[in-house]
């Protein structure tokens, strides 16, 4: 394909790629490492409740995204949906928020890879591992989109096998406890203040951590822009998300909470985040099972998770920047494609920003992902209202989200509670520097949105004026 003024991405991602992208997006260091922090902070009951609530929210969000993505499969995803179904400034802010979020995430993974490689090569400076990691994910993304899909398929497959192995070992250990009359599977659920520790504030805090673990599932929406047959492949991926959430997260948290007490000093050390792989709850459980290779095994799995997160983050942010440029919401230079259908200029820019953030240590978890999820809920609610207002029938939708309007409302309210309540204690105590560091993503989003709105005089799109026509995709 030659470069043109109106470039087209290559629809080369099949059903198996999308399924694994959805899995890979929801399995990462958040589960392998941060799950221990949630149990140490809120107890096994609090951690399990947080993951259940976030899991339900993610299910509703993905059904909303499934309806939007099958009707309008574009790499712009949330930017496009906010732009078409809410208000231009809102979509503009969502797009830049998402690009920034994943560019920062790539930088975060550049730091994380240093801790992992230090386990095997303690004498080599971590900077060189970060540089190598960035070069690898750049090269993967510089290939065709199918090359990205194959790499993500392999990364995700490793993570899935690791989790299934963990679940089998964990259930076997629980079974041994149940057969031992001198032991009890409820002991770690009743020790100290368990099952719920720290009250509402602790629950909100671990819900944010759980949400950070789930961030990436929405990448299916971005990948829809390069899917071979989105009206078939997207619904398949969306329908399987609930069972993945139930199996991979809820069951893992239950097993960890049952076999490792929240008072375990190793979990407390993990909550402090010193990067020690031996503190992973997965490693702790393997050691309890007598597996001497536990630390080395989990180190390899977590390295794969980091590679996957960096790889998919680079892909999503690059495609978002490309689509915004194509729509005139970013410099046009980023809308150019090379002969393989890869937006190289957008890839160069994203790589440079990730490297700059890494070098300046401007890295940290933020609420950007939750803001994107809020945008998905709002966009879906307004799309459905506009679709019906213009006389279209629900039966004509290629995929229809269940539980509407409860689903998007539930997701919106829960996201809002977590965002606003994340550091409520600092607000009440007047610790304004802590408040600023926690909530900085909100004013940044509002400044971008309202700044665009003020400059371009954009208004909320009326239901009867929305462009709800579906995008027709030619099968390749």
pTM as predicted: 0.90
Q: Is residue 247 part of a domain?
A: yes
72 secondary structure, DSSP code: S
pLDDT band at residue 347 using 50, 70 and 90 as cut-offs = very high
Q: Would you state the pLDDT for residue 446?
A: 94
pLDDT band at residue 139 using 50, 70 and 90 as cut-offs = very high
> What's the chain's average pLDDT?
85
Q: Would you state the pLDDT for residue 475?
A: 56
**Is pLDDT at 174 greater than 60 in this prediction?**
yes
472 secondary structure, DSSP code: P
Q: Is residue 366 part of a domain?
A: yes
Rg (CA), the chain: 22
Q: Would you state the pLDDT for residue 1?
A: 40
**Is pLDDT at 3 greater than 50 in this prediction?**
no
Please state, in angstroms and rounded to a whole number, the distance separating the CA atoms of residues 407 and 162: 31
Q: Is residue 136 part of a domain?
A: no
Q: Which tokens belong to 64?
A: 């909303």
Q: Which of 45-59, 142-156, 168-182, 278-292 has the lowest mean pLDDT?
A: 278-292
**Is pLDDT at 301 greater than 70 in this prediction?**
yes
Q: Is residue 84 part of a domain?
A: yes
Q: Which tokens belong to 440?
A: 């900085």
Q: Would you state the pLDDT for residue 465?
A: 93
Please state, in angstroms and rounded to a whole number, the distance separating the CA atoms of residues 298 and 122: 17
Q: Is residue 8 part of a domain?
A: no
* Tally of structural domains, the chain: 1
Q: The domain that contains 199 carries what CATH number?
A: 1.20.1740.10
The values of phi and psi at residue 203, to 5°, are -65, -45
Q: Which domain holds residue 263?
A: 15-90+147-289+362-456
- E strand residue ranges, 158-254: none
Please state, in angstroms and rounded to a whole number, the distance separating the CA atoms of residues 14 and 472: 17
Can you tell me the mean pLDDT for 392-400? 91
Question: Which of helix, strand or coil describes residue 13?
Answer: strand
Q: Would you state the pLDDT for residue 210?
A: 87
Q: Which tokens belong to 311?
A: 């790889």
Q: Would you state the pLDDT for residue 341?
A: 85
207-253 residue pLDDT tens: 988 888 888 888 888 888 788 888 888 888 887 777 777 778 889 99
427-450 residue pLDDT tens: 777 788 877 777 888 899 999 999
Residue that the structure tokens 């004013």 belong to: 443
Q: Is residue 310 part of a domain?
A: no
Q: Is residue 110 part of a domain?
A: no
Q: Is residue 9 part of a domain?
A: no
Residue that the structure tokens 């230090």 belong to: 118
Please state, in angstroms and rounded to a whole number, the distance separating the CA atoms of residues 279 and 244: 25
């Amino acid at each position: 394909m030659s470069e043109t003024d109106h470039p087209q991405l290559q629809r080369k991602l099949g059903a198996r790629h999308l399924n694994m992208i959805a899995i890979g997006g929801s399995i990462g260091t958040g589960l392998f490492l941060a799950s221990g922090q949630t149990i140490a902070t809120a107890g096994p009951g609090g951690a399990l409740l947080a993951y259940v609530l976030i899991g339900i929210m993610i299910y509703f969000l993905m059904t909303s995204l499934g309806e939007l993505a099958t009707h309008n499969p574009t790499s712009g995803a949330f930017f496009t949906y906010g732009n078409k179904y809410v208000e231009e400034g809102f979509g503009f802010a969502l797009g830049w928020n998402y690009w920034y979020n994943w560019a920062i995430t790539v930088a975060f993974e550049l730091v994380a890879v240093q801790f992992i490689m230090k386990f095997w090569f303690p004498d080599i400076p971590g900077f060189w591992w970060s540089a190598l990691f960035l070069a690898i994910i750049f090269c993967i993304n510089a290939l065709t989109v199918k090359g990205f899909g194959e790499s993500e398929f392999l990364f995700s497959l490793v993570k899935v096998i690791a989790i299934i192995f963990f679940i089998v070992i964990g259930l076997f250990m629980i079974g041994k406890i149940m057969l031992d009359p001198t032991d009890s599977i409820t002991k770690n659920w009743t020790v100290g203040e368990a099952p719920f520790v720290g009250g509402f504030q602790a629950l909100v805090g671990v819900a944010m951590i759980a949400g950070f673990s789930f961030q990436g599932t929405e990448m299916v929406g971005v990948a829809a822009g390069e899917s071979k047959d989105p009206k078939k492949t997207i619904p398949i991926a969306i329908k399987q998300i609930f069972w993945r959430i139930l199996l991979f997260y809820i069951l893992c948290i239950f097993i960890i909470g049952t076999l490792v007490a929240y008072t375990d000093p190793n979990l407390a050390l993990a909550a402090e985040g010193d990067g020690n792989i031996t503190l992973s709850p997965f490693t702790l459980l393997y050691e309890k099972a007598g597996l001497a290779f536990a630390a080395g095994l989990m180190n390899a799995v977590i390295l794969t998770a980091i590679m996957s997160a960096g790889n998919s983050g680079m892909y999503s942010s690059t495609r978002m920047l490309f689509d915004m440029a194509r729509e005139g919401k970013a410099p046009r230079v980023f809308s150019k494609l090379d002969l393989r259908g890869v937006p190289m200029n957008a890839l160069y820019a994203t790589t440079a920003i990730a490297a700059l953030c890494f070098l300046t240590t401007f890295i940290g978890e933020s609420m950007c992902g939750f803001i994107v999820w809020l945008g998905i809920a709002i966009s879906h609610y307004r799309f459905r209202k506009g679709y019906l207002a213009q006389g279209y029938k629900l039966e004509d939708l290629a995929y229809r989200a269940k539980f509407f309007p409860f689903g998007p409302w539930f997701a919106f309210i829960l996201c809002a509670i977590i965002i606003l309540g994340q550091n409520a204690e600092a607000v009440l105590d007047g610790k304004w520097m802590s408040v600023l560091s926690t909530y900085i993503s909100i004013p940044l989003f509002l400044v971008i949105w309202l700044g665009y709105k003020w400059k371009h005089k954009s208004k909320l799109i009326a239901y009867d004026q929305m462009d709800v026509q579906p995008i027709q995709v030619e099968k390749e």
